[in-house]
Structure 1
Amino acid sequence: MKKFFAVFAALILLPLSLQAADFKEGTHYEVVKQNATSTPQVLEFFSFYCPHCFKFEPLMAQLEAKLGDDVEIKKNHVNFLGKEMGPQLTQAYAAAELLKVEDKVASLIFDQIHTQRKAINGEAGVLAIFEKAGIPEVEAKGALASFPATGIASQMKRNTETFQIRGVPSLIVNGKYQVITNSVKSTDEFIELVSYLTKKTD
């Protein structure tokens, strides 16, 4: 586990590498499902309570810019960190998606937990985050309690179980390939690997 986190720290800090990589199954990625998605997709599993996920955000922004609009990048919050607030923040992120303020809400939650080092306590704490994101309390409450938000949160939980995610951040590409994070040596190689997998279906 320490090696896993050390690799992610290195990805944030190392300069770009120009070395071309020969990516191999079992070394750089694992096949975790038999069939790939019909369109290119990157699914990032994360938790707001994971400091490595917080540090991983700039790398994901670089990846998104590099892959462009042809590849869908989705975030999947997990419930297994943060005790009872884990599922609540999954619901909050689902509601933020509905309201199309997920980037603002995610940034505010990460900042409060990891930069300000302040806890988010219950519904009141979640509503305060939405207010900072420009969403009135009545609208935020409605979204949090809505059937669509509950459906999104339930799907996130199912995804976590389906792909047997035990640690975060974790990436599943095209619904079929899981990136082996300790195989990459630089930011450039990481982006190259994910880009390679988005084009792969066999």
Structure 2
Amino acid sequence: MKNIVSRWLLSFCACALIFGCSDDFTPKEGEQFTTLPANLATYRIAPVAEIFSLTCSHCRKMESVLPELEMALQQEVGKVHVTFNEGAKAAAMVYYSAMMQLGQKPDAKLMDALFAAIQDNVALTPEQQQAAIEKVFTDNNLISPSAFDQKQRQDLGRRLKIAQAITEQGQIQAVPTFIVAGRYQVLTSGHDDIKELAETINYLLHKH
């Protein structure tokens, strides 16, 4: 989201920037967050969920920020892959094919491999791109989506429908972003560092 991720990465080099924000920071609707047009809590997404796409370069950079955010929040951040265009839909199939087999979101190493397979092979032929994606699965002892049986395909289809419903009902048009309590979208561009972001998220978690 614009230059916010880059600013965060640079801020990690100076702890004062992480912990030295103004004590007067108060999240404001329209500046640090918005209320979603629909309550997405019915889809049982995590209380704090990153909305992302494997096709998004800023989302890839965000991966190195997430551990700091989780530490500040003292809780895990979930993930929802968007499906707002054809490229994102194809990438969502890749992500959820891994997630459903693991029973949880992929770890940092696998996420890096998935981002690389999607983003670093755009100059390859479709066949070569598919081979690169399948290699990530086999290297991690996972079944490639192309080898799924009927039950696995149905499970994947169900997860993709939920992701599409979240994308459409939440009117998610840009990533990365965060959904809090299924009701609020964080405006990442309205924050200067990880401490402010964590403060906004905690504020929204306790907002009634």
Match of 2:111 in 1: 106
Aligned with 2:142 (options 104, 123, 135): 135
Amino acid at match of 1:8: V
Aligned length: 191
Corresponding residue number in structure 1 for 2:97: 95
Specify the alignment match of 2:14 in structure 1. none
Q: Would you say 1:63 and 2:69 are equivalent positions?
A: yes
AA at the equivalent of 2:121: K
**For 1:9, which of 3, 6, 11 is the aligned residue?**
6
> Does structure 1 residue 158 correspond to structure 2 residue 165?
yes
2:26 alignment partner AA: D
Report what 1:52 is aligned to.
58
Q: Distance in 2 between matches of 1:136 and 1:193?
A: 39
1:163, distance to aligned residue in structure 2 (A): 0.8
Cα distance change, pair 163–136 in 1 and its aligned pair in 2 (3 A): closer
CA contact (8 A) 2:98 2:142 kept: no
Q: Tell me if structure 2 keeps the 8 A contact 1:143–1:149.
A: no
**Offset of residue 80 of structure 1:** 3.7
Relative to structure 1, the CA distance from residue 155 to residue 37 in structure 2 (aligned partners, 3 Å threshold; closer, same or farther) is closer
2-structure distance, mates of 1:49, 1:129: 16
Alpha-carbon distance between aligned partners in 1 of 2:93 and 2:19, rounded to the nearest angstrom: 38
Q: Unpaired segments of 5 or more residues in structure 1?
A: none
Q: Which residue of 2 aligns with 1:194?
A: 201
- How has the CA–CA distance of structure 1 residues 165 and 102 changed in structure 2, closer, same or farther, with 3 Å as cutoff? same
In structure 2, the CA distance between the partners of 1:35 and 1:158, relative to structure 1 (3 Å rule), is closer
Cα drift, residue 41 of structure 1: 0.6
SS at structure 2 position matched to 1:58: coil
Percent identity of paired positions between Structure 1 and Structure 2: 25
Q: CA deviation at 1:62?
A: 1.7
Structure 2: tracts of 5 or more residues without a match: 12-16
1:73-117 CA distances to partner (integer Å, 9 max, x unpaired)? 321112345x4x432221121121111172354221113445xx2
Match of 1:77 in 2: 81
Cα distance in 2, alignment partners of residues 34 and 94 from structure 1: 23
- The amino acid across from 1:9 in the alignment is S
User: TM-score, with normalisation over the residues of structure 1?
Assistant: 0.79
Calculate the TM-score normalised by the size of structure 2: 0.77
2:52 & 2:40 partners in 1: Cα distance? 21
Instruction: State the alpha-carbon separation in 1 of the partners of residues 157 and 110 from structure 2.
Output: 17
